[in-house]
Chains A and B, each alone.
Chain A
Amino acid sequence: MYRYDDFDRQLVLERTEQFREQVKRRLAGDITEEQFRPLRLMNGVYLQLHAYMLRVAVPYGTLRADQLRQLGMIARVYDKGYGHFTTRQNIQYNWPKLDEIPDALLDLAKVEMHAIQTSGNCIRNTTTDQYAGAAADEIEDPRPYCELIRQWSTFHPEFTYLPRKFKIAVTGSPNDRAAVKVHDIGLRMHQNEAGETGFEVLVGGGLGRTPFVGKTIRDFIGKNDLFSYLEAILRVYNRFGRRDNKYKARIKILVHEEGIDKIRELVEEEWSQIKDGSLRVDDAEIAHYIEQFAPPAFEALSDDDADFERHKAENRRFANWVRSNVIEHKQPGYAIANVSLKPIGGIPGDATDTQMELVADLSEKYSFGDVRVTHEQNLVLPHVKKADLFAVWSELDKADLGTANLGYVTDIISCPGLDYCALATARSIPLSQRISERFGDLDRQHDIGELKIKISGCINACGHHHVGHIGILGLDKRGKEFYQITLGGDASQDASIGKIAGAGFSEAEVVDAIESLVTKYIDIRDGGERFIDTYRRVGMDPFKEVLYGDR
């Protein structure tokens, strides 16, 4: 895995010390809140409903065991014993004290972690496929390119004050698990006709109050040219992006208002000026980064393991976990094990200090010290021998981490909502808990199959409701929480934005409404259809009818 070089280490330490001084000056009254606010935001420190919140970057969702263990320690020492994994593959702490945050950042720096690029109008932490380097379906590990994007974008002097925040996601697989089409820039690795590996570049995707699926600005950009091309896009955005209105400042609005052809023209023109400059990365340098993410020392194993099969036959709960949470690995005899942070009735994405430490220990023992954070708010042990899966699951299960529900109706994305967030208009977590309890029976979840429910507590859409097969948006209606349902969203390679079904539901009504949609789907589905497939075949009307009848 990538290790910091001296330059990275110095950069993070200097930033930590800078922030310590800034906090000291703020507490002494040498700078005002107005002056301090942008500085704290640049270090991932928000002020939420009940307390400060510290958002820590997990670049491209990859963690080492020692890093996850440190995240657990920070939860215990600086917070109230837990953290919340987010749709940005990051972790948030909900209760840190301002005067202690510099110490927390120093403890993070000790394991090469930080809160840089987790806030502010900069290029944010790059996200990618949580199965990178392990997935059987990937063309190449996308993380070397994510790391190069990190190095290019961190403290980029030209892009520190963009019109608005800017998010880049990368997939190395045709099966998009990183929602690249709903990011400011999405990169999809593929091969051109000459057999070279490069990227399709999409721009202008995004969620929030104005959701869009990204548009292709270039079918193919070679690896060597990727970074100058990204720079050209950012330059065009930085120059023409709207600074007059915060709500129109994202690149998606620029692309929408100007049209993709016009933006392409501007980007190509800019790119022609810089493509042969210092941002052209040669093969040797790329090879150096690929080497940093070289596969671990896999053993040559048979893909069939007799003990694994025996445990599955003997233990139904284990077999169920394998069925949903274990994914095919590219290396024979190995598997990808998903650790659900969605226990039935639990809080999506929350993990305690000891749970983090346990997963860190298990990764060390069984997964080459490698852990991933998913944008769907779960964790992954990416490289587990099939022969070890039963031992891993047994340990996870004892710690309430063995829930067998990946991709099912109870594997809900939920933002923190009004329980924590200063921007929220309604709560999202309690709703996700009630839906999880309603559908908690595993046989029922198997029957329903893949169903992605995503809940946001306000229009900013941190809970990705626009791309939920069923999306739920919590709003405030004259002081009461109410919930709008959208149908037909999809974050995958077949991305689509969900459509609003109709009038919203009260807190008391909404779980029944969701259940009626699921029941309708089961009634009318064709064999093998997922909820989203049925919706695409029959459209909104049959679902609208069960929600509203003659209303």
Chain B
Amino acid sequence: MSLQVVTANRLEDGLVVFLTSDGGWSENINDARIAEDKEAANALLAEASAPELDIVIVGPYLIDVEQQGTDLVPTKYREVLRTKGPSVREDLGYQAV
């Protein structure tokens, strides 16, 4: 099984975030807590779906990622775009920072 992390959009501003090891949410995918097997992935998603997080994030789900050097990179292009921003506006989104 591919490595997985949990992503969502932050309630307040809609920005893309990832579940971190301390149970918080980061804008940087490299801070994400990684699930290495199905059991860990299910536990990660269950944690992210806790009712009390409904006022922090919207729509948590698991994505497949690969370790590339020091970076975590999603395997699907859609998710790559979410970690960066629009490919047609490189001045916007996380890629701009």
Contact = CB atoms under 8 A, between A and B. Distances in A.
A457 to B, nearest CB: 11
A427 B87 contact: yes
B54 interface: yes
Interface string B53-64: 011001100000
Contacts of A98: 11-14
Given A32-B54, A47-B59, A27 B11 contact: yes
A479 B76 contact: yes
Contacts of B87: 419, 427, 430
Contacts of A420: 86
Interface stretch (A48-56, A106-114, A435-443, A510-518): A48-56
Nearest to A46: B14
B55 A28 contact: yes
Contact of B81 (A33, A49, A347): A49
A140 to B, nearest CB: 41
Contacts of A433: 88
B81 A419 contact: yes
B78 A50 contact: no
Contacts of A47: 9, 14, 58-59
A339 to B, nearest CB: 21
A33 B49 CA distance: 12
Interface residues of B, number: 24
Contacts of B15: 50-51
Contacts of B88: 347, 419, 427, 429-430, 433
Interface in A402-442: 418-420, 424, 427, 429-430, 433
Given A52-B14, A430-B88, A33 B54 contact: yes
A104 B16 CA distance: 22
A345 to B, nearest CB: 10
A209 interface: no
Contacts, number: 72
A26 B93 CA distance: 25
B39 to A, nearest CB: 25
Interface in A194-244: none
Contacts of A99: 12-13
B33 interface: no
B59 to A, nearest CB: 7
Interface string B1-40: 0000000010111111000000000000000000000000
Given A98-B14, A479-B76, A481-B77, A49 B82 contact: yes
Contact of A419 (B9, B11, B13, B86): B86
A427 B93 CA distance: 16
Contacts of A476: 78
A106 to B, nearest CB: 19
A418 B77 contact: yes
Q: What is the predominant secondary structure among interface residues of chain B facing chain A?
A: loop
A156 interface: no
B25 to A, nearest CB: 15
Interface string A62-106: 000000000000000000100000000000000101110000000
Contacts of A52: 13-14
Contacts of B16: 49-50
Contact of A50 (B12, B54, B76, B93): B93
A423 to B, nearest CB: 11
A478 to B, nearest CB: 10
A415 B13 CA distance: 23
A520 to B, nearest CB: 29
A97 B12 contact: yes
Nearest to B51: A32
Given A27-B11, A97-B14, A98-B14, A50 B77 contact: no
A157 interface: no
Contacts of A549: none
A29 interface: yes
A98 B75 CA distance: 29
Contact of A29 (B9, B12, B55, B92): B55
Nearest to B84: A50
B78 A49 contact: yes
Nearest to B83: A50
A427 B87 CA distance: 9
B66 to A, nearest CB: 12
A69 B76 CA distance: 40
B19 to A, nearest CB: 17
A47 B55 CA distance: 15
Given A80-B92, A430-B87, A27 B82 contact: no
Interface in A463-488: 476, 479-481
14 contacts: A27-B55, A47-B58, A50-B82, A51-B14, A97-B12, A98-B11, A418-B81, A419-B87, A419-B88, A419-B89, A420-B86, A433-B88, A476-B78, A479-B77
Interface of B: 9, 11-16, 54-55, 58-59, 75-78, 81-82, 85-89, 92-93
The 9 A-B pairs with the shortest beta carbon distances in the complex, nearest first, are A52-B14, A51-B14, A419-B86, A29-B55, A97-B13, A429-B88, A419-B88, A33-B58, A32-B54
Given A26-B55, A433-B88, 17 more contacts: A27-B55, A29-B54, A32-B54, A33-B59, A47-B9, A48-B14, A49-B16, A50-B14, A51-B14, A97-B12, A98-B12, A98-B13, A419-B87, A424-B78, A427-B87, A429-B86, A479-B77
